[in-house]
Chains A and B, each alone.
Chain A
Amino acid sequence: MKHAIRNLLQFDLPYRQFELKETEPEGTPSFFAHKKAGKARIAPIEGNLSARLETNRKTLLALFHGEENTDLICTPFRIGMRVHALAVSLNGMADETKIGDFILRPCHKAQAEDVPKRGRIAYLAESVLTTAETERKSDWQSVADAVTEGRTAVLVDGETEAILCDTRGFVSRPVGAPQNEMTILGPKEAFTENIRTNVTLLRRILKRPDFVCRFRDAGGTNRTKLVVAYLDGTVNPSLRAEVERRLDRIRTNDTLSIGRIEQLIEDYTYLPMPQMLKTERPDRAARAILDGRLVLLVEGCPLAGVLPITLEALMESGEDADMRQPVGTVVRVIRMLGAALSIQLPAYFLALALHHPGQLSSEVLETVIASRAMVFLPLSVEMIFLLIVFQLVREAGLRVPGAIGQAIGIIGGLLLGQAAVSANIVSTVVLIIVALTGLGNFAIPDYSAQVSIAYFRILLCLAATAGGLLGIAVTGLCMGALLCSVKSFGVPFLTPFAPVAKRSGRMIVRGKLNNRAAPSDWSNPERRRV
């Protein structure tokens, strides 16, 4: 406080505030700084293990910044009370019980005379250590990767190899019920942040040997684990190769969620519609895999990315197939109606009220005029303002935790709406239209699709304001053509309508449940019969 007052009143004092210093060798950044930022390069860890244990220990400490990273545990021990060795792990990532039971205790118990003078690593791996999975590596990169994953590296004096034992045992969230894709009839399991748990959840559903989960890095230098899951022999090989190629191109370290990865490998950056289905339900992901699609899982992300994606999949709920045929059809019709209302209703109303009032009956017209008698905002501004307020309430409701979020949605809707009508900012007719639009929007099952439709809605409202039904027709045609031109990983977005393709079930009017043992035709699967 004293310094602040002195700084304020005395002008001759040196500048004492903290200032971030440039670390770039050039000193001054260029005018377009981002262009000169260059690539973030972190060189891979080079070199192999030394035969001297002390040298290896020092290298490890340097590698992991042992002075600062106090969670790096280097446990020295002796094999058969004779040969010096070192167990290296990260506290919290590795299970201490497993280290004690399966590494340290067997090593202590080993007989001194049994320990050979050469080939101790092979002896340890084959005859002493009792962990389920062991691996022998001689390069520092592999050792560092293993330790950061939660495995334990066992280094032995006089040996240039390390044994990497699987002792992973970090804390993770248990499998719970889905939060956003709730169903009444379907299963109640959701993906977690643990990638191995997620793979297990899928494997429990897909009990077949041709189900492949390929583990790989998500790109960049962070080595975030990513799984590409598919049915070998069913998925289109060119799709698999293309996805792998796009994943190989990733250079950034910002690959910590499926949404980021989607943006890094998609085709159309500026299209609001999602190009990958993000689901938290293992059953939905498994169904997609059976249909010849690919599923991506990322470590630390409780969502699976399904690709390629079509509009049909975005409009499908997890339990559609579980419902009876007539009920399922009615639900789908209502959902499609909701989506159509959500996109077109505000724009249609604006067009009719502003440009084609003759299309409204005199009763409706009188009601509109009476409700807008004291409203000072122009109709189009009023509509767009309310649509934005709706998005605001929705966004606030999502970000505020738990029950308060729901309360904000209800209170915001009721109080704001009532207050806005009383203050003559908006009219009741427009309020009802926006409420119907909001309800229709919530009928769309996919969250990304819900959000993206808001852009189309606003665009149509602007077009309706400018040109009435002419504006809607022109904009709608352009939007339709745009969606027809979009492809998600080579599959047209509007498949199976345009182009027409055989599929497992109809989108709106649900037919009899398909008893064909074949995946959908549109993904051009390698094998027609599964």
Chain B
Amino acid sequence: MNLRIGAFGRQEAMSAVWICAFASGCFAFDNRALFWDGNASYPEHALAAALAALLFVCAVSAIRKRGGRDLSALIGASKGKAGIAALLILSLLLSAIQPQQQFLLTLTQYVFVDAKQVSICFYLLPCITLLSVLGAETLVRTARMLLPLLCLSVLAALALNCGQARLSRLYPVPIGKPVKLLTDTATALHRAFSPLLALLCIGVGTQNVRTLKSAGTLGALFGAATVVAMLFGLSCCFSYGMLSEMPAPFYRMLVEARTENPTLRFDRVTLFLWMACSMLASAIYVYAAGVLFCKTFGVRDIRPVACLFGAICAAAILALYYDSEPTMRVLKLLYRFGWTAAVVPLPLLCMTGKERPLCGACS
């Protein structure tokens, strides 16, 4: 089979999870829903990341007990594997679409004001498809190369915004609204778990299950720390009322930093660096979805599947542009409750199926 998974180590896998966590966690699909009644995004995300890590550890343990090395060991042993795989693929593709939609919005509103979304799509989507065709080994190595730059840019963005941070802007935390907190945490759970789900799909590339587990846990931990720090910084810079109306809050944060320090004009460079990271994350999601599809349905080559999923993402993003309102409504709905697609089947999968004796490579 030409799945192009290859072999990679702990640091590369961790970097991929970290970058995916950053892209999924920071660039939310629906800011209005996130901030409409107070700001609890950063504690919600911390909680969601902890839950996601717990779920991941459970899934890895279940995979290990079944003698497998990736998610297909769980799906293959379950009933209705096609349906479960379809749900997970849908979840991964949603995660791939989410940051791109945000960046398209940012670019058309702030950077290329006269440009159409279609023309910007011509840059982003072929690149994502090309990257996803190159395979897991290439993707995780590219993530390893980009990670230091990403960390540096995040630190710089936070440091430059220190001057305008006000702790009073953190108020109010909607503690009195448990339903909102619960739904927001569930949505955040989807964002936090998607990187781990992608890693589970390509887990066979790691040396063994132990490496998979440590890479995923560390990546989720560091990724969550980055996202929580960014969300916290954002919350300190803008009030929840401003954030719920703001189309691209992180870019606005960078612009504010530039206004404060006119000599440091790195807002565009940082934006495009984050965009490159998010493109890589999208490519990882598309590729992971492709691997899951190939393993479940017996397709022997990842390339046509990755191209197909890349085209689906492109179609979804373009549909947002051409037929904005209904498509946006459907995607918001999917995004709001998409976490069920990713999260609910996994505990079920972990509980069902027969345990197999451990092999050497799995220990």
Residues of A whose CB lies within 8 Å of any CB of B are: 355-356, 358-361, 467-474, 476-478, 480-482, 484-485, 492, 494, 497-500
Could you say which residues of chain B place their CB within 8 Å of the CB of A482?
Answer: 134
CB distance from A413 to the nearest CB of B (A): 30
A494 and B268 form a contact (CB under 8 A): no
8 A-B pairs whose Cβ atoms sit less than 8 Å apart in the complex: A468-B112, A470-B275, A473-B272, A474-B124, A478-B127, A498-B12, A499-B8, A500-B9
CB distance from A374 to the nearest CB of B (A): 28
A498 and B123 form a contact (CB under 8 A): no
Could you say which residues of chain A place their CB within 8 Å of the CB of B134?
Answer: 481-482, 485
Q: A474-B123, A480-B146, A485-B134 are contacts. A359–B268 as well, Cβ < 8 Å?
A: yes
A482 to B263, CA, bound (A): 34
Contact with A along B258-290 (1 / 0, CB 8 A): 000011010111011101100110000000000
A497 to B272, CA, bound (A): 22
CB distance from B99 to the nearest CB of A (A): 14
A492 to B138, CA, bound (A): 10
Contact with A along B45-71 (1 / 0, CB 8 A): 000000000000000000000000000
Look across to chain A and name the residue whose beta carbon is closest to the beta carbon of B135.
A485
Look across to chain B and name the residue whose beta carbon is closest to the beta carbon of A471.
B123
Could you say which residues of chain A place their CB within 8 Å of the CB of B267?
Answer: 359
A470 to B268, CA, bound (A): 9
B127 and A477 form a contact (CB under 8 A): yes
CB distance from B326 to the nearest CB of A (A): 29
Could you say which residues of chain A place their CB within 8 Å of the CB of B9?
Answer: 499-500
Which of the listed residues B137, B142, B263 has the most CB atoms from chain A within 10 Å of its own CB? B142
Could you say which residues of chain A place their CB within 8 Å of the CB of B269?
Answer: 359, 469
Partner of A469, one of B137, B142, B268: B268
A480 to B131, CA, bound (A): 10
A499 and B142 form a contact (CB under 8 A): no
Partner of A470, one of B123, B140, B144: B123
A468 to B113, CA, bound (A): 13
CB distance from B298 to the nearest CB of A (A): 26
Interface members, chain B 92-150 (any A CB < 8 Å): 107, 111-112, 120, 123-124, 127, 130-131, 134-135, 137-142, 144-146
Could you say which residues of chain B place their CB within 8 Å of the CB of A473?
Answer: 272-273, 275-276, 279
Q: A361-B265, A481-B139, A497-B144 are contacts. A470–B11 as well, Cβ < 8 Å?
A: no
CB distance from A467 to the nearest CB of B (A): 6
Could you say which residues of chain B place their CB within 8 Å of the CB of A484?
Answer: 137-138, 141-142, 145
B12 and A470 form a contact (CB under 8 A): no
Residues of B whose CB lies within 8 Å of any CB of A are: 8-9, 11-12, 107, 111-112, 120, 123-124, 127, 130-131, 134-135, 137-142, 144-146, 262-263, 265, 267-269, 271-273, 275-276, 279-280
Main secondary structure of the interface of A (DSSP, over half): helix
CB distance from B157 to the nearest CB of A (A): 16
A476 to B124, CA, bound (A): 12
A361 to B262, CA, bound (A): 8
CB distance from B6 to the nearest CB of A (A): 9
Could you say which residues of chain B place their CB within 8 Å of the CB of A472?
Answer: 272
Look across to chain B and name the residue whose beta carbon is closest to the beta carbon of A501.
B9
A494 and B111 form a contact (CB under 8 A): no
A359 and B265 form a contact (CB under 8 A): yes
A477 and B280 form a contact (CB under 8 A): yes
B145 and A470 form a contact (CB under 8 A): no
Look across to chain A and name the residue whose beta carbon is closest to the beta carbon of B119.
A467
Could you say which residues of chain B place their CB within 8 Å of the CB of A356?
Answer: 111, 268
CB distance from B86 to the nearest CB of A (A): 28
Could you say which residues of chain A place their CB within 8 Å of the CB of B268?
Answer: 356, 359, 469
CB distance from A353 to the nearest CB of B (A): 13
A359 to B111, CA, bound (A): 11
Could you say which residues of chain B place their CB within 8 Å of the CB of A468?
Answer: 112
Q: A359-B268, A470-B112 are contacts. A498–B276 as well, Cβ < 8 Å?
A: no
B275 and A494 form a contact (CB under 8 A): no
Could you say which residues of chain A place their CB within 8 Å of the CB of B8?
Answer: 499
Could you say which residues of chain A place their CB within 8 Å of the CB of B271?
Answer: 469
A476 and B123 form a contact (CB under 8 A): no
B144 and A481 form a contact (CB under 8 A): no
Partner of B138, one of A470, A476, A481: A481
Q: A356-B268, A467-B123, A470-B111 are contacts. A497–B145 as well, Cβ < 8 Å?
A: yes
Look across to chain B and name the residue whose beta carbon is closest to the beta carbon of A477.
B276
B142 and A470 form a contact (CB under 8 A): no
A480 to B283, CA, bound (A): 14
B131 and A498 form a contact (CB under 8 A): no
B141 and A470 form a contact (CB under 8 A): no
Could you say which residues of chain B place their CB within 8 Å of the CB of A492?
Answer: 141
CB distance from B302 to the nearest CB of A (A): 14
CB distance from A31 to the nearest CB of B (A): 33
B265 and A499 form a contact (CB under 8 A): no
Could you say which residues of chain B place their CB within 8 Å of the CB of A471?
Answer: 123
A485 and B112 form a contact (CB under 8 A): no
Q: A359-B268, A473-B272 are contacts. A498–B144 as well, Cβ < 8 Å?
A: yes
A473 to B142, CA, bound (A): 13
Which of the listed residues A361, A476, A480, A481 has the most CB atoms from chain B within 10 Å of its own CB? A481
Look across to chain A and name the residue whose beta carbon is closest to the beta carbon of B147.
A498
Partner of A474, one of B135, B139, B144, B279: B279
Partner of B127, one of A355, A469, A474, A499: A474
CB distance from A343 to the nearest CB of B (A): 14
A498 and B141 form a contact (CB under 8 A): yes
CB distance from A29 to the nearest CB of B (A): 38
B141 and A494 form a contact (CB under 8 A): yes
Q: A469-B272, A500-B12 are contacts. A477–B112 as well, Cβ < 8 Å?
A: no
Could you say which residues of chain A place their CB within 8 Å of the CB of B131?
Answer: 477-478, 481
Look across to chain B and name the residue whose beta carbon is closest to the beta carbon of A469.
B272
A474 to B280, CA, bound (A): 10
Look across to chain B and name the residue whose beta carbon is closest to the beta carbon of A476.
B276
B279 and A498 form a contact (CB under 8 A): no
A361 to B9, CA, bound (A): 44
Could you say which residues of chain B place their CB within 8 Å of the CB of A478?
Answer: 127, 130-131
A361 and B123 form a contact (CB under 8 A): no
Look across to chain B and name the residue whose beta carbon is closest to the beta carbon of A463.
B123
A355 to B110, CA, bound (A): 12
A470 to B12, CA, bound (A): 25
A470 and B120 form a contact (CB under 8 A): yes
A469 to B131, CA, bound (A): 19
CB distance from A313 to the nearest CB of B (A): 17
B144 and A499 form a contact (CB under 8 A): yes
Look across to chain B and name the residue whose beta carbon is closest to the beta carbon of A485.
B138
CB distance from B196 to the nearest CB of A (A): 21
Which of the listed residues A471, A494, A498 has the most CB atoms from chain B within 10 Å of its own CB? A498
A356 to B276, CA, bound (A): 18
A497 to B143, CA, bound (A): 11
Given contacts A474-B276, A481-B131, A498-B145, 17 further A-B contacts (CB under 8 A): A359-B267, A470-B111, A470-B112, A470-B123, A474-B123, A477-B127, A477-B142, A478-B130, A485-B138, A485-B141, A494-B145, A498-B142, A499-B12, A499-B141, A499-B144, A500-B9, A500-B11
Which of the listed residues B8, B269, B271, B272 has the most CB atoms from chain A within 10 Å of its own CB? B272
Look across to chain A and name the residue whose beta carbon is closest to the beta carbon of B12.
A499
Look across to chain B and name the residue whose beta carbon is closest to the beta carbon of A472.
B272
Look across to chain B and name the residue whose beta carbon is closest to the beta carbon of A500.
B11
